[in-house]
Amino acid sequence: IAVVVEDGDDVDRASRLGAFPILGNPTDTASLEMANLARAKTVLINLEDDSKTILASLACRKINKSIRVVAVIRQRDLIELVKESGVESVLSPQALTGRMLASAVFEPDIIDFVDDVTSGITGADLREFESKELKVVGSRVGDVLYSLRQKAGVLLVGLVKVGQDTRKVFYPGDDEMIEENDRIILLGYPEQFEKLG
């Protein structure tokens, strides 16, 4: 993993974590090329300034048209603009925190459940699989749901229907068909995921 950082202290921190740090400007194509971005599959952009995040995403796209761009955005009103700059996945700590705080007040068990799944405290996890990987292309969700529960004990909680208009389907209906490029979101424990092997 290569990391482009602007601060010398971050170079040491990245090295200790096992990353290959590059001291440079994450919005500068020369720095990104030093990080071998042209061959990367995914880039994560996490900058303090959202305008720099947009510039960095555009610079990444200039170097590698097919790279998957994930970005952290601090201003919720910029999320759509960031997506227009070529970012596929946008994380907004403020939006997530706001929802979690509301859940903590009105639905405390939900916040505990989400915290357990996202922190790994209980071992439960959400994982994404390609439909081809699970050999379920052309199958009904109801049939896949049943077979996955029988085989490994995991729960199918969502689909990502990849296409011209990619869409997410939360807890899809039994008659929904799984297509070739779909991604399947499963909830389970590590030992259960191993059974899918």
Taking only the tens place, the pLDDT of each residue in 22-49 is 899 999 999 999 999 999 999 999 899 9
Strand partners of residue 44: 70
Confidence of residue 98 (pLDDT cuts 50, 70, 90): confident
What is the predicted pLDDT for the residue at 16?
A: 86
What is the predicted pLDDT for the residue at 14?
A: 84
Q: What is the mean pLDDT of residues 122-129?
A: 88
* Residue 178 DSSP label: P
What is the predicted pLDDT for the residue at 86?
A: 82
What is the predicted pLDDT for the residue at 135?
A: 95
Q: Where are the domains of the chain?
A: 2-91, 123-194
For residue 95, pLDDT over 80 is answered with no
Long-range contacts of 85-89 (CB under 8 A, 24+ apart): 85/54, 85/57, 85/58, 85/61, 86/57, 86/58, 86/60, 86/61, 87/45, 87/57
What is the predicted pLDDT for the residue at 38?
A: 92
Candidates 3.30.70.1450, 3.30.470.20, 1.10.287.370, 3.40.640.10; correct CATH number of 123-194?
3.30.70.1450
For residue 18, pLDDT over 80 is answered with yes
Confidence of residue 138 (pLDDT cuts 50, 70, 90): very high
Task: Say yes or no: do domains 2-91 and 123-194 share a fold.
Answer: no
For residue 105, pLDDT over 90 is answered with no
Residues recorded for the chain: 197
Any idea which residue has 């490029």 for tokens? 181
Render pLDDT for 50-90 as a digit per residue (tens, 0 to 9): 999 999 999 999 999 999 999 999 988 888 888 888 888 88
For residue 121, pLDDT over 80 is answered with no
CATH superfamily of the 2-91 domain:
NAD(P)-binding Rossmann-like Domain (3.40.50.720)
Strand partners of residue 187: 126, 155
pTM, 2 dp: 0.65
Count of beta carbons in the 10 Å neighbourhood of residue 174: 11
